[in-house]
Each structure stands twice: as structure tokens, then as C-alpha cells.
């Protein structure tokens, strides 16, 4: 089974900063990690390869420094890696990102299954995987928590929905997005790093994948980030003195003043 795993490098910080001119995330100079959900996708892909044979290919989009993350992912079991890196890809929303990945997958061509993390922690949209499947014209199953059966022709998976599960069988080729907890990702190995160093990362620009400039980057994005910030939480404590009855009345009045409840007139 030939598997493509979509991975993304995300900032390793809660203090995300934006470029004031483009309203895009500033990634240079910020420590970065592989998107945690994508680690589960990679591990699931490697496990399927070990069970059924084939290969695991990684695909990502980002700045040239993403090659380091891809080599680390290769050291954890992937066989090859492809990076879409071009200034014209910059500023892409989920729609433009899915289109760019679609072009990359078409260039790779040989795949039976695509695995994505449920979402990226720097955007939390959970839209790229399903959108990629739609562009490729293949079925997809999101929020997969377990692969129950796997063959070269189909998968049977358990899908998490609200407070229940769904058991779904899907024919290949297909795309799934996985939840955390589907497995325990393995650590990269020294041998894996040597292998990744020898193979390197294939880098493709917009021209290499024959991208339509109207559908990539900022120009191809239907949405823009206007502002991002870390929410602040403030706590205050008020002491209510008096007799138990006076304290109860004071507590009710405080709740009413804060808009949590309404109280009637005297004696009610």
C-alpha cells in the first residue's frame, strides 16, 4: 500500500505574531515543530506500511526550513518527502493550501491512501484534508480514531462523532484524517536520520507543479486573518460579610449584577 501523509510545521508557541502588511503568521525566528496531529498520521501510515508493504511519502508546504522537520519525520519511518516551497505559496488559507497539496499529490501520482492529521494547531480549521479529497475526487473519512481492518482495496475505520462512534468501510484510494490517541507515535532513530540525510527532500516550486497563480497564496485565498491574540483570563474575589441571611442576599445580588440571574422584589 502506497501512502501519502500530509504534514505541516507549526510554531512551537502560543504567542503567534502576524505580519502587519500581509496579516499572515510570522514563522521566521520562531521555534517550530511538526503539527502534533500529523505525528499520529505519520505513525499510522508507517504501521500500515509495515503490515501491508509499500511506501510512505510525506508532503508539506512551507518555507525551506521545513526540510528539517521532514527529515525528522523520515527518520521516524517515512520513505521519501516532498516540500512545496515558493514565495508565491505564502499566505494561503485552507482552500489555497488544499489546492497546492492537490497539485503535489497529482505529481507524486502513485498512492492508495492519504492520511492527514485532524487539524493543525495554528489554524484549527480541520478543512484541508476534506478539501484535498474533494479536489482529488476520492472519498474521505474524518475524525478516525481507529483503523479496524486494512487491505490494498479498502479500509474499515472507527470514526469519532460527538458522544458516539461510527464504523465506516471505504474503498481505496481514499483520504482519512486521524484523531490524537489513534496510536503512540514512535521516536526517530539514528539509523533513520542517516537514511533521511542520504535521500534528502524533494523541493517543488509553483512552476514545478504547474500551479494556477489565481488559486495559490494570498491571491487564491477566500479568507484572510485580520487579527490573532492570546485570550486573557482575569479573576477577582469579593468577600460578603454579615449574617448568613445577609451573605445569601449579597451573593444573589452579586450574581444578578453580573448578569447570571434575575431576582424578584423584596420577599420573593
Same domain, 169 and 242: no
Same domain, 267 and 141: no
Same domain, 148 and 266: no
Same domain, 98 and 166: yes
Same domain, 8 and 75: yes
Strands 202-204 and 154-161: unpaired
Quote the number of domains for the chain: 2
Same domain, 143 and 265: no
pLDDT (0 to 100) of residue 17: 64
Please check whether residue 223 lies inside any domain of the structure. Answer: no
Please check whether residue 230 lies inside any domain of the structure. Answer: no
Domain that holds residue 178: 2-215
Same domain, 151 and 242: no
| Domain CATH for 8 | 3.40.50.620
Same domain, 155 and 267: no
Q: Mean pLDDT by 10-residue block, N- to C-terminus, for the chain (268 residues)? A: 95 65 63 91 96 96 93 95 94 93 94 95 88 96 96 94 92 96 93 91 95 91 75 79 90 84 58
pLDDT (0 to 100) of residue 267: 47
Same domain, 41 and 154: yes
Same domain, 181 and 241: no
Same domain, 261 and 189: no
Please check whether residue 229 lies inside any domain of the structure. Answer: no
Same domain, 79 and 204: yes
pLDDT (0 to 100) of residue 234: 78
Amino acid at each position: 500500500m502506497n501512502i501519502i501523509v500530509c504534514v505541516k510545521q507549526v510554531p512551537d508557541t502560543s504567542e503567534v505574531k502576524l505580519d502587519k502588511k500581509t496579516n499572515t503568521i510570522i514563522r521566521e525566528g520562531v521555534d517550530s515543530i511538526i503539527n502534533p496531529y500529523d505525528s499520529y498520521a505519520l505513525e499510522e501510515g508507517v504501521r500500515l506500511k509495515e503490515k501491508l508493504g509499500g511506501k510512505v511519502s510525506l508532503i508539506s508546504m512551507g518555507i525551506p526550513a521545513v526540510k528539517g522537520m521532514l527529515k525528522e519525520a523520515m527518520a521516524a519511518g517515512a520513505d521519501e518527502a516532498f516540500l512545496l516551497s515558493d514565495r508565491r505559496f505564502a499566505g494561503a488559507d485552507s482552500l489555497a493550501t488544499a489546492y497546492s497539496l492537490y497539485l503535489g499529490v497529482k505529481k507524486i501520482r502513485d498512492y492508495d491512501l492519504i492520511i492527514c492529521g485532524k487539524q493543525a494547531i495554528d489554524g484549527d480549521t480541520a478543512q484541508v484534508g476534506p478539501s484535498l479529497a474533494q479536489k482529488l475526487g476520492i472519498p474521505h473519512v474524518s475524525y478516525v480514531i481507529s483503523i479496524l481492518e486494512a487491505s490494498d482495496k479498502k479500509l474499515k475505520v472507527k470514526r469519532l462523532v460527538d458522544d458516539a462512534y461510527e464504523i465506516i468501510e471505504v474503498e481505496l484510494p481514499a483520504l482519512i484524517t486521524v484523531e490524537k490517541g489513534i496510536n503512540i507515535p514512535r521516536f526517530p532513530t539514528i539509523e533513520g536520520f542517516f537514511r533521511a540525510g542520504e535521500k534528502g527532500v524533494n523541493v517543488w516550486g509553483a512552476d514545478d507543479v504547474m500551479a494556477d497563480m489565481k488559486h495559490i497564496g494570498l491571491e487564491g485565498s477566500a479568507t484572510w486573518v485580520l487579527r490573532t491574540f492570546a485570550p486573557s483570563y482575569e479573576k477577582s474575589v469579593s468577600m460578603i460579610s454579615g449574617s448568613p441571611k445577609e451573605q445569601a442576599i449579597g451573593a444573589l445580588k452579586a450574581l444578578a449584577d453580573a448578569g447570571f440571574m434575575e431576582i424578584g422584589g423584596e420577599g420573593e
